[in-house]
């Protein structure tokens, strides 16, 4: 999760606007028609800084054509249209934003001042504010015993009925049995691991797969290890290390989320490299499986037929990767569905259950897909804006319920991994919610 906020900022920067009189200049030369969305994003930021609202809007539209719905883009378009005096268009963008269930303080946003008093403004502002109200369906499953543990990944073994939780801070992996409490499966530092991120269980080979990364939030972090990452394969029953896998190149990596396919292949997302790797069952090396177009891949799930990998890209939404060819296409979504900012991801039938920690409010949502599982048609909040849901991360499906880390503690650390002033670490919680 460490690089997610940097990636989200690529688009979020476009929505910043200083209060000013509306104008429609062409002070900033627009990027060319063949420019990438990243180039349009940068050009739009420059236009906004130059108070060139028309140029800013132009680039927002170009980015949206490539990226699709993104709440920051839609909100930015509302601000740009407000600055240009396009009141009806600005209100329409805000209606789209409101329908996604997200919230912002529109009443105190000076960039939207020209809209206040317009027909429909009061009801629209109330609707956006109402999106901040809690949706509380989850119950406590268990709390971590150590305030400094900082959980990230969660997995479940149906044979032993044990949960496994990984630690960002110490690199440990704990096992939890509802009738037996906690035990340590992987101790800190034993296998040269750093922060432990995503974990996944392969019941057929009795393997616990874990992604580890040298990040500043790890208590044993050394600057010389920056950008190092690996996948560790552990014996699920004993915790013994079976094998260590490293990316095939020497660049900076952050292997973060893993998923085991029905045939035993393991897929791993690299949020720093924008790559999804594959470890074929029985193989001793990992290989780059897909990288074109991905920005910050996170959680992974498989389609019902097992032929495609669905990958949550923190910026762009959900990608679909054909396992046979590696071909990538983007899962489309209705404009009322926000699919950015997703960390943890599982599939239940023709639904995705997603942990969104890159939107406001932070939430766990059900994303309904069509029968082909190539389009997201609607959404429903399962848990949103509740007191414990401060920094949710990963999720696991157990029967008819999902269990997820609710308050990992990421929000209490600065970019250097230090506690923010006035913050303390507290025991984190795993919540459970039914997904009938």
User: Residue 436's pLDDT is what?
Assistant: 84
The H-or-E segment that residue 139 falls in is strand 139-143
Average predicted confidence (pLDDT) for the chain: 92
Please name the residues in contact with 410: beta carbons below 8 A apart, sequence gap of 6 or more.
1, 150, 168, 217, 357, 391, 393
Q: Classify residue 214 by its DSSP letter.
A: -
Query: Would you give the DSSP letter of residue 135?
Result: B
What distance in Å separates the CA atoms of residue 309 and residue 259, rounded to the nearest whole number? 9
Peptide bond into 361 cis (omega under 30): yes
Per CATH, 4-130 and 139-434 having the same topology is answered no
Q: What angle do CA 57, 60, 66 make, to 5 degrees?
A: 145
Handedness of CA 6, 318, 248, 210 (dihedral sign): positive
Q: Inform me whether the pLDDT recorded for 357 exceeds 80.
A: yes
Q: What is the pLDDT of residues 387-417, one digit of tens each?
A: 999 999 999 999 999 999 999 999 999 989 9
265 contacts 280 by C-beta, under 8 angstroms: yes
Whether pLDDT at 155 is above 50: yes
pLDDT in tens, 297-311: 999 999 999 999 999
Contacts of residue 81, defined as CB under 8 A and 6 or more positions apart, other chains included, come to 57, 87, 89, 90, 93
On the question of pLDDT at 17 being above 50, the answer is: no
d(CA 40, CA 343) in angstroms, rounded, equals: 26
pLDDT at 69: 83
Sheet holding 342-348, edge to edge: 332-333, 375-384, 363-369, 351-356, 342-348
Instruction: Tell me what pLDDT residue 26 has.
Output: 41
The pLDDT of 312-337, averaged and rounded, is 95
Contact in structure between 338 and 100 (CB atoms under 8 Å): yes
Q: What is the arithmetic mean of pLDDT over 136-157?
A: 97
Q: What are the helix (H) ranges across 139-189?
A: none
CA distances from 179 to 72, 163, 237, 238, 414 (A): 45, 12, 17, 19, 37
All structural domains of the chain with their residue ranges = 4-130, 139-434
CA angle 267, 269, 271 (to 5 degrees): 175
* pTM of the predicted structure, to 2 decimals: 0.93
Identify whether the C-beta of residue 312 lies closer than 8 Å to the C-beta of residue 364: no
Contacts of residue 179, Cβ cutoff 8 Å, sequence gap at least 6? none
> For residue 28, is pLDDT > 70?
no
Question: Does pLDDT of 360 surpass 90?
Answer: yes
Summarize pLDDT for 29-42 with one digit per residue, the tens: 556 667 899 899 99
Percentage of the chain with pLDDT > 90? 87
Residue 23: the pLDDT is 39
Predicted confidence (pLDDT) per residue in 218-247, tens digit: 999 999 999 999 999 999 999 999 999 999
| 331-341 core/surface letters (b: 16 or more CB in 10 A; e: else) | bbbbebbbbbb
pLDDT attached to residue 21: 38
If one counts every other C-beta atom within 10 angstroms of the C-beta of residue 374, the result is 16
CA dist., res. 386 & res. 180, Å (int): 29
**Residue whose token pair is 């949020």:** 271
pLDDT of residue 262: 93
Per-residue pLDDT band for 66 (boundaries 50, 70, 90) equals confident
Report the C-alpha gap between 179 and 349 in whole angstroms: 30
Using the predicted structure, report yes or no on whether residue 7 has a pLDDT greater than 80: no
For the cut 50, the answer to whether the pLDDT of residue 8 exceeds it is: no
Q: What is the pLDDT of residue 16?
A: 46
pLDDT tens for 77-124 read 999 999 999 999 999 999 999 999 999 999 999 999 999 999 999 999
Model confidence at 19: pLDDT above 50: no
- CA gap 368, 159 in Å, rounded: 30
CATH for 4-130, options being 1.20.120, 3.40.50, 1.20.1250, 1.25.40: 1.25.40
In terms of residues, how long is the chain?
A: 436
Closest by Cα among 253, 179, 242 to 208: 242
Please state, as a whole number, how many other Cβ atoms lie within 10 Å of the Cβ of residue 398.
Answer: 15
Residue listed under structure tokens 């028309």? 54
Asked whether residue 288 carries a pLDDT value surpassing 80, the answer given is yes
Q: Of all residues in the chain, what percent are helix, strand and coil, respectively (each to 5)?
A: 20, 35, 45
Q: How confident is the model at residue 1 (pLDDT cuts 50, 70, 90)?
A: low
What's the confidence (pLDDT) of residue 347? 98
- Residues 62 and 40: their CA atoms lie apart, in Å, by 7
Which tens digits make up the pLDDT trace of 259-273?
A: 999 999 999 999 999
Are 355 and 345 spatial neighbours (Cβ–Cβ below 8 Å)? yes
Task: Quote the pLDDT of residue 32.
Answer: 66
- Token pair of 153 as six digits: 């990944």
CB 93 within 8 A of CB 81: yes
Query: Which homologous superfamily does the CATH classification assign to the domain defined by 139-434?
Result: TolB, C-terminal domain (2.120.10.30)
Distance of CA 239 to the CA centre of its chain: 28
Provide the 3-class DSSP secondary structure of residue 126: helix
């Amino acid at each position: 999760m460490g690089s997610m906020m940097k990636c989200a900022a690529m688009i979020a920067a476009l929505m910043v606007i200083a209060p000013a009189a509306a104008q429609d200049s062409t002070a900033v030369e627009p990027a060319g028609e063949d420019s990438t969305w990243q180039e349009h994003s940068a050009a739009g930021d420059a236009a906004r800084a130059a108070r060139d609202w028309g140029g800013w809007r132009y680039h927002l539209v170009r980015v949206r054509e490539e990226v699709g719905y993104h709440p920051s883009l839609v909100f930015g378009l509302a601000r740009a249209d407000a600055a240009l005096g396009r009141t009806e268009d600005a209100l329409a963008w805000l209606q789209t934003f409101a329908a996604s269930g997200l919230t912002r303080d529109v009443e105190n946003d000076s960039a939207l001042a020209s809209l206040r008093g317009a027909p429909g403004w009061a009801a629209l502002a109330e609707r956006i504010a109402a999106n901040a109200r809690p949706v509380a369906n989850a119950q406590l499953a268990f709390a971590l015993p150590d305030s400094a543990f900082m959980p990230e990944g969660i997995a479940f073994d149906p044979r032993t009925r044990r949960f496994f939780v990984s630690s960002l801070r110490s690199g440990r992996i704990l096992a939890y049995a509802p009738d037996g409490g906690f035990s340590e499966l992987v101790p800190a530092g034993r296998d040269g691991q750093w922060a432990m991120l995503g974990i996944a269980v392969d019941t057929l080979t009795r393997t616990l797969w874990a992604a580890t990364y040298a990040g500043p939030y790890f208590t044993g972090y050394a600057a010389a290890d920056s950008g190092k990452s690996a996948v560790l394969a552990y014996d699920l029953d004993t915790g013994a290390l079976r094998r260590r896998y490293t990316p095939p190149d020497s660049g900076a990596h952050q292997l973060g989320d893993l998923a085991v396919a029905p045939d035993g292949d393991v897929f791993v997302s690299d949020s720093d490299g924008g790559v999804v790797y594959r470890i074929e069952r029985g193989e001793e090396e990992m290989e780059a499986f897909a990288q074109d177009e991905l920005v910050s891949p996170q959680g992974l799930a498989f389609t019902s037929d097992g032929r495609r990998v669905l990958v949550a890209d923190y910026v762009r939404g959900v990608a679909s990767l054909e396992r046979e060819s590696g071909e990538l296409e983007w899962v489309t979504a209705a404009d009322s569905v926000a699919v950015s900012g997703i960390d943890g991801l599982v599939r239940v039938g023709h639904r995705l259950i997603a942990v969104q920690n890159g939107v406001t409010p932070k939430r766990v949502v059900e994303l309904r897909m069509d029968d082909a599982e190539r389009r997201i048609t609607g959404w429903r909040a399962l848990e949103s804006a509740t007191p414990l849901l401060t920094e949710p991360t990963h999720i696991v499906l157990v029967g008819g319920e999902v269990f997820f880390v609710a308050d990992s503690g990421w929000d209490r650390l600065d970019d250097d991994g230090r506690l923010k002033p006035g913050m303390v670490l507290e025991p984190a919680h795993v919540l459970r919610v039914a997904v009938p």
